[in-house]
Structure 1
Amino acid sequence: MHDSRRSARHRTRRRPWYKRWQVWLLTLLVVALAATTWLAVRALQAKTELETSVALVSQLRDQLVAQDITAAEETLAELTPRVQNARELTSDPVWLVAEFTPVLGSNLAAVRQLAAATDSIVVDAVPPLMEIVGDFVNDGLTTTEGALNTALFEAAIPRIDVAAATIEAAVASVDAIDTSNTISQVTDAQATLAEQLNTLSPVMKQAQEILPIVAPALGSEAPRTYLILFQNNAELRSLGGIPGSIVPLTLADGAISLGEQLGKDDFPAYEEPVVTPPPGVTELYRDAFATSILNSTVRPDFASGAEVARTLWEKYVGTKIDGVIAIDPVALSYILRAGEPIQLPTGDVMTGDNAVSLLVNEVYLRYPGETEASRDEQGAYFAGVIDGLFRSVMGGGLDLTVLGSGVVQAVEERRLLLWSANEAETALIDLADLSGSLPKSDASTDRIGLYTQDAIGSKMDYYLDQNVTFSQASCRADGRENYRVSVNNTNLLTEDQVDDLTFYIVGDGSEGVTPGDIRIDLFAYAPPGAEIVGLSVDGAAKTVDAFSDGDYPVSRIRTTIEPGVTQNVTFDLIAGAPGTRELASILTPMVRATPVESTALDCASLPGE
């Protein structure tokens, strides 16, 4: 009896343990199933929110480009809760615990980090940027009094700081995401966002550095006087063209006043340079450097050219100059696209499409320049153009997107250059690619300069087309690469067109050049330490005359191109150090853009091979 009761108790104690084990197992299965279902639902919801957000971001960008601020604000209002929801969906406790599971966990962690970065950008970076755009669109570049709105630039500074800091933090966050074990969709999403952020971040940093100098440069702290050099690409100089018109512009807290326009013939020429030439420059440019306003742009370094122009102006006129701006007719045509056509006093209507031909060719056909009266008519025509440009810019109504695009294109093509006497602004000007400096090579890239100058005293370069081919190869035992610069120059005129040209276009004959011929000087600037070892014209070898501009080896050749003829000039160089580097170029901006291509170099074609 006793034994049977003990057996019964023993059986009674084992059953609860067995049942509890089943319950716990069932509970774990239910919890796992619930967690999996929870994750799946939230992942699907987050995916939907992020995919919708991508479409909305694209829509927002298009609206901002179209300057439709109202629509952009509505899109942002729809976008913000979606990215916030995506962040919340991917950051609850279940999701965070699941990140510790093998394989799946790395994908969940990456998605959470991507959602968090997207949320921070949309919530913290986009609104201040939209405020900046909105202010410029709604308030305009000019005030009701007609002055440039310096307050817009000052108000943008703290906003750009917030946006830049947010984007910098997002860059660090996204770059740190581990995608070594993630699925392709997650890996691609991380790579795409990282690329976009790493492209945007330097732009934001650049804006942070440049914005603080804009208002002072517009005279917010003290009046500034700038000298504007309107370069004429029909008579080429290394930096673009001769300064045909020179105009002082004074800015006082954004208010603009233009001084009297002067021409190249209004300034005296000097026998000795008015600024000290760098070593080798006097010989290289045949005593032309720093002796006249006409040749202030002969050397392809705008800092020195601006110093020459400022010195000549202050010697002749007496006005103190705080900065120098150079712009050519092609850059003006880009800017004109942003506004209404300009009605000139002559009855001409100038647009972005016809500005170049009007300013560098048709004016000389209409006013031949053979008499003082005709030259005065030229001057009056250009004065009307400058006045019309001033009224167009200050009158408001410009399409800011088109204007910005035009300015960027002009800067990229070196058609808009800036120099400031304020040393604190010089580095920022260089950072913005506005300095027009000599080619700067580095450890990964050798940069070669190829510059073109008129050698007649004519406006024939309107008819000059140019295309350039760069090639390189490792052909030497010492490991230094061979470089080749091949330039084709084409005279677009035909013989039967020459008789219709004025002497102001073809030249006055004093240089002994046949009317219709184009005569130019070509300058090849090699990287410091490199050598220029070969020179040929249409395949015929020429002597390489060794010149220099400071540390830069330079080769110079003068050539004549008859109507309808394409002439090839080739320079051969040897790199200054062993190793393979990219090859880049800086060229004189001409009336028409110069196509540039790269090809492989045949070692057997090198001089002496």
Structure 2
Amino acid sequence: MLFGATALVAVVLIAGAWVGSRAWLAYGELQEARSGATKLQEKFAENPASIIGDIEDLGEHTARAADLTSDPIWRAAEIIPWAGPNLEAFRVTADSLDTVVRAVGAPLVEHVDAMQSSLALTDGRVALEPLVEMRSASANANTQMKKVVADMHGIKREKLVPQLADAVAEFTELLQPVSVGVSAVSDTTALLPGMLGLGGSRDTLLLFLNNAEVRSTMGIPGALALLNANDGRIALTQQASTLDFPVYPEPVARLSPDLRGTYGDKPALWVQNVTMLPEFPLTGELAVTMWERNFGVRPQAVVAVDPVTLSYILEATGPISLESGESLSSDNAVDLLMHEVYVRYEDPADQDAFFADASARVFTAVSSGDFEVQKFVKALTRGAAEDRIKLWSSVSDEQSVIDGTSLAGTLTTARSTTPKFTMQLNDGTGAKMDYFLTTKATLTGDLGPNSESDEIVVRYTMSNTAPADAGISLPGYITGGGNYGVEPGSIATVARLFAPGGFNLLSQQVDGSSENAGESLQLLDRSVAQWNPTLAPGESRTIELRYRVEIPNVHAVEWRQTPTFSNDISNAITY
């Protein structure tokens, strides 16, 4: 017995020493990898294709760390109370980092140069072949990345020593932007070839939206254009203004009863109102139907962008000369397209002509390939992150990909389990005063496994930054001239906050008072708080909504809203 007990103790000590020594070696490899990753990030920002050799070196460290923490003795030690969860977390983290570097990063970096080259248009054509070749690698990388995220979220941090728990939390947080980026690459290679005419001609309707008159999913259509793509060759085949569309005598499509009860038939009667609806796929279907009725062509897809996104794109193309003789640049695009054009031109036809010229010349600059690819990609990425780009496709396979992204413009995102609040704004002034509208969203709460109340408070402030004399100093086309019962210079808005399912509204106040604080309603199976503020120049008002979380395991919420000229928001807030 004594010999047996002694042998058992010896085995435990040897195993402990074995695991301890390998843990120390693995820790050293991970520290080397961390140092290398920091340098790699800096190089990647300058030139993604330049890091191929660096990522191979980084992979050697992560591979050794994963190998050191995955042998049978280590795995057996994971059943030991207290030590086991820490060893398991160490192994999962090392293995996850190795997967990110070698199974996700390395294959994508091998293709990044070809992908960037394909996006640099030559004679109006996007080279589709590199995108098609990259599909398999990017789809596999995306699958691997999802597994890593799931594995890291599966670690029970409350059972870990503080130092390891902090490290796991830090790494898990860093995975979020990486996961978003990998998913974006996968989506791009899945979507672009087909939408750019691989296998046949494709028509896409472009909506250039103006946030100076806000609508739920962005702004009022200011100019429209038809884009044709065939085997990667892109052409702008037709342009139109809102003046080219009639007020239809009957709705072009029948809206659901709850949508009609809230928005009426306006979105299906006026092209200017197609973006009033709460989900962009509805906008897309209405827009292509109206275009087909007017011009006899039914586009297969719709893309919408705002002037802020165009300003980002102009950082890649550089300034563009307009027919008026002036220069459109990243510095002046927003002011010029959202405000100055209305000060300068009283006739809507002249305004539309200006928008058409600007959009056509931006398209020409992009289609000619005369831009910096990295800056162009960053411009689109930034615009999408700020909800300033929307996309819809009538092709079901394409739309299923879009549905998993923020480009979809829907109240729920197919790939995200994080509850999402969506604040949507619709102009009630009947003019272009939303250029002066600023907003700020603040979310506070006590969520998570150790919370006592499981409540969250949303505070949303809207401000009118117009000059005090706006009612007399600005043209009537901008102020509305009081035509809709709104004092010139004031901003009237219909604001609706769509809450996630399982969030119960407890109270609703405006500036600390429950009187005239709006109403609550149900729309598209969502709880909606509605508020109709009218703000005089210089005035701000704040609505406060308190919710109780009725569903388990909510550790974060997501915030989305109608993008204005200037939003002070945080898209993802964790407590």
**TM-score calculated relative to the size of structure 1:** 0.75
Q: Could you tell me which of 444, 451, 458 is aligned with 2:431? A: 458
Deviation for aligned residue 1:319: 0.6
- Residues 521 and 69 of structure 1: is their aligned pair in 2 closer, same or farther, counting only changes over 3 Å? closer
Deviation for aligned residue 1:316: 1.3
Unaligned runs of 5+ residues in structure 2 are 1-16
- Residues 291 and 485 of structure 1: is their aligned pair in 2 closer, same or farther, counting only changes over 3 Å? farther
Deviation for aligned residue 1:211: 2.4
Counterpart in 2 of 1:338? 316
Counterpart in 2 of 1:231? 209
Deviation for aligned residue 1:61: 2.9
Structure 2: how far apart are the matches of 1:455 and 1:429? 31
Counterpart in 1 of 2:541? 567
Contact 2:510 2:541 in 1 (8 A): no
Counterpart in 1 of 2:564? 590
SS across alignment from 1:541 = coil
Quote the sequence identity (%).
Answer: 29
Contact 2:492 2:535 in 1 (8 A): yes
Structure 2: how far apart are the matches of 1:85 and 1:411? 38
Contact 2:216 2:275 in 1 (8 A): yes
- Residues 484 and 275 of structure 1: is their aligned pair in 2 closer, same or farther, counting only changes over 3 Å? farther
Structure 2: how far apart are the matches of 1:74 and 1:442? 33
* Cα RMSD after superposing both structures: 4.9
Counterpart in 1 of 2:487? 514
Structure 1: how far apart are the matches of 2:276 and 2:131? 35
- Residues 536 and 186 of structure 1: is their aligned pair in 2 closer, same or farther, counting only changes over 3 Å? closer
Deviation digits for residues 303-327 of structure 1, max 9, x if unmatched?
A: 1111111111111111111011111
- Residues 197 and 597 of structure 1: is their aligned pair in 2 closer, same or farther, counting only changes over 3 Å? closer
Contact 2:227 2:238 in 1 (8 A): no
SS across alignment from 2:400 = helix
Counterpart in 2 of 1:245? 223
- Residues 19-418 of structure 1 aligned to structure 2 (within 5 Å): 51-67=31-47, 69-70=49-50, 72-76=51-55, 79=58, 125-137=104-116, 139-161=117-139, 163-164=141-142, 200=178, 204=182, 207-208=185-186, 211-369=189-347, 375-396=348-369, 398-418=371-391
Deviation for aligned residue 1:506: 1.4
Deviation digits for residues 371-411 of structure 1, max 9, x if unmatched?
A: xxxx3332232122112211232233544443333323322
- Residues 385 and 184 of structure 1: is their aligned pair in 2 closer, same or farther, counting only changes over 3 Å? same
Structure 2: how far apart are the matches of 1:368 and 1:308? 29
SS across alignment from 1:131 = helix
Contact 1:532 1:555 in 2 (8 A): no
Contact 1:535 1:572 in 2 (8 A): yes
SS across alignment from 1:434 = helix
How many residues end up aligned between the 2 structures?
555
Amino acid at match of 1:211: T
Structure 2: how far apart are the matches of 1:413 and 1:549? 24
Name the stretch that deviates more: 515-524 or 453-462. 515-524
Amino acid at match of 2:426: Q
SS across alignment from 1:65 = helix
Contact 1:250 1:256 in 2 (8 A): yes
Amino acid at match of 1:417: K
- Residues 583 and 140 of structure 1: is their aligned pair in 2 closer, same or farther, counting only changes over 3 Å? closer
Structure 1: how far apart are the matches of 2:19 and 2:521? 72
Name the stretch that deviates more: 58-67 or 106-115. 106-115
Counterpart in 2 of 1:5? none
- Residues 189 and 261 of structure 1: is their aligned pair in 2 closer, same or farther, counting only changes over 3 Å? same
Deviation digits for residues 545-566 of structure 1, max 9, x if unmatched?
A: 6654343354545443222222
Structure 2: how far apart are the matches of 1:407 and 1:559? 33
Deviation digits for residues 441-491 of structure 1, max 9, x if unmatched?
A: 9998654443222223211111112223456799xxxx9987765433222
Structure 2: how far apart are the matches of 1:597 and 1:194? 18
Structure 1: how far apart are the matches of 2:27 and 2:42? 23
- Residues 314 and 55 of structure 1: is their aligned pair in 2 closer, same or farther, counting only changes over 3 Å? same
Deviation for aligned residue 1:350: 2.2
Contact 1:249 1:257 in 2 (8 A): yes
Structure 2: how far apart are the matches of 1:532 and 1:99? 49
Amino acid at match of 2:364: R
Contact 1:228 1:246 in 2 (8 A): yes
Counterpart in 1 of 2:525? 551
Contact 1:533 1:544 in 2 (8 A): no
Structure 2: how far apart are the matches of 1:182 and 1:445? 25
Q: Which has the larger radius of gyration?
A: 1
Name the stretch that deviates more: 162-171 or 423-432. 162-171
Deviation for aligned residue 1:58: 2.8
Contact 1:469 1:598 in 2 (8 A): no
Deviation for aligned residue 1:295: 0.7
Contact 2:209 2:222 in 1 (8 A): yes
Deviation digits for residues 244-292 of structure 1, max 9, x if unmatched?
A: 1111111111111113221112101124321111122223224423111
Structure 1: how far apart are the matches of 2:430 and 2:156? 64
Structure 1: how far apart are the matches of 2:143 and 2:93? 17
Structure 2: how far apart are the matches of 1:493 and 1:113? 54
Structure 1: how far apart are the matches of 2:469 and 2:158? 69
Contact 1:531 1:576 in 2 (8 A): no
**TM-score calculated relative to the size of structure 2:** 0.79
SS across alignment from 1:313 = helix
Structure 2: how far apart are the matches of 1:512 and 1:112? 66
Name the stretch that deviates more: 357-366 or 447-456. 447-456
Residue 436 in structure 1 maps to residue 375 in structure 2: no
Deviation digits for residues 32-73 of structure 1, max 9, x if unmatched?
A: xxxxx9999999988766644443333233222211634x24
SS across alignment from 2:284 = helix
Contact 1:69 1:134 in 2 (8 A): yes
- Residues 62 and 447 of structure 1: is their aligned pair in 2 closer, same or farther, counting only changes over 3 Å? closer
- Residues 537 and 147 of structure 1: is their aligned pair in 2 closer, same or farther, counting only changes over 3 Å? same
Deviation for aligned residue 1:189: 6.9
Amino acid at match of 2:406: D
